[in-house]
Amino acid sequence: MQTVFSRTPTLKDCTTHYCPGCGHGLAHRLVAEVIDELDIRSRTLGIAPVGCAVYAYDYIDVDMIEVPHGRAPAVATGMKRMRPNNIIFTYQGDGDLASIGAAEILHAANRGEKITVIFVNNAVYGMTGGQMAPTTLLDQVTATTPRGRSQQNDGFPLRICELLTVLPGTAYIERCSLHDPKHIRQVKKAIRRAFEHQVEDKPGLTLVELLSPCPTYWRKSPKEAMAWIANEMTKVFPLQCFKEPEKS
């Protein structure tokens, strides 16, 4: 019998701690596949966030460090400056990157650090029990917006890609989604492109945002969660390549 699909070696052979229908597992697999396709496993250094993906090092088989909440881009800066020939990536949730770590990502991007950022936007804080994230949609009910996110009290959903695109220090910015196979293929392409840019040692920070399902804290079935991304999240977070290496 012919093998048509197998687990990529950099993804460890184990069960994850993620909830059913969670997007992190998918995102991990795609990152691992790209690392293997580019044959960079032995020189890739990963940074795990504080968030549901804190155990990323238990699943992605590269050298990794777990760092304080939101500070991954600063840690990545220290690593890349010391070891410019290594491929450095951060893997961060939307609370980690867009809220507590907003300053670190902004300045790493503005310095044009040659790192790759995998930004997983699930519109909530998963790890702490489904509280509002900066990316939570207006009227979305979370543990800390029991009446729905109100613009007066909580401000607006924060669009990171749009913000970072205006910085000359960024090279490649794309927002994709994990809600169906077609879009997942696009995620893979984008992650590959981001890593390739770094492998080629081209200037600028690369970031791929993934709209990612959190059925548990959206109080939806996995299937409903996928539909909610397609129908609601993409309205606020349009899927788009905001900045391409060739054009920057």
Partner 1 sequence: MSEKVLMCGNEALGEAAILAGVDGYFGYPITPQNEATAYMARRMPEEGRVFVQSESELAAINMVMGAAATGARAMTSSSSPGISLMQEGISYLAGLELPCVIVNIMRGGPGLGSIAPAQGDYFQATRGGGHGDYRCIVLAPASVQELVDLMQLAFDLADQYRITVMVLGDGILGQMMEPVELRKLPRRDLPEKTWAITGARGRPQNILRSLLMTDNQLELHNKHLQEKYAGICKSETRVEQFDVDDADVICVAYGIAARVVKSAVIVARDEGIRAGWIRPITLWPFPTDAIGMAAEHKGREFLVVEMSCGQMLEDVRLAVNGKAPVRFYGRAGGAVPTVEEVLEQIRKIAPVIVD
3-class DSSP assignment, residue 18 = coil
Structure tokens at 133: 């994230």
**Which does residue 212 bind out of ligand TPP, partner 1, none, counting CB within 5 to 8 angstroms by kind?**
none
Q: Which of 21, 62, 64, 94 binds ligand TPP (CB under 6 A)?
A: 94
Q: How far apart are the first and last CA of the chain?
A: 47
- Closest CB to ligand TPP belongs to which residue? 93
Closest alpha carbon to 122 in 155, 94, 141, 159 = 94
DSSP calls for 196-230: HHHHTT-SSEEEEEEE---HHHHTS-HHHHHHHII
The nearer residue to ligand TPP, 92 or 116, going by C-beta atoms, is 92
Q: Closest by alpha carbon to 186, among 9, 72, 26?
A: 26
CB 110 within 8 Å of CB 169 = yes
Among 2, 4, 21, 76, binds partner 1 (CB under 8 A): 76
Using CB under 8 A as the binding rule, whether residue 7 contacts partner 1 is answered as no
**Considering the rule CB under 6 A, would residue 73 count as an interface residue with ligand TPP?**
no
Contacts of 17 (CB under 8 A, 6+ apart): 55
Q: Is 97 in the site for partner 1 (CB under 8 A)?
A: no
* Residues 114-133, mask of contacts with ligand TPP (x by CB under 6 A): --------x-xxxxx----x
CB of 193 to partner 1, least distance (A): 22
2 vs 64: CA distance, rounded Å: 34
Supply the DSSP symbol for 137. P
Identified binder of ligand TPP from the candidate list 21, 93, 157, 213, rule CB under 6 A: 93
Interface with partner 1 includes 75 (CB under 8 A)? Answer: yes
Question: Computed over its alpha carbons, how large is the radius of gyration of the chain?
Answer: 17
Q: 79 is written with which tokens? A: 């690593």
> According to the binding rule CB under 8 A, does residue 160 interact with partner 1?
no
State the nearest-atom distance from the C-beta of 67 to partner 1, in Å. 7
Contacted by 104, from ligand TPP, partner 1, none: CB < 5 to 8 Å by type: partner 1
Q: Which residues bind partner 1 (CB under 8 A)?
A: 41-45, 47-48, 54-55, 57, 61-68, 71, 74-83, 86, 103-104, 106-107, 111
Q: Which residues bind ligand TPP (CB under 6 A)?
A: 50-53, 69, 93-96, 122, 124-128, 133
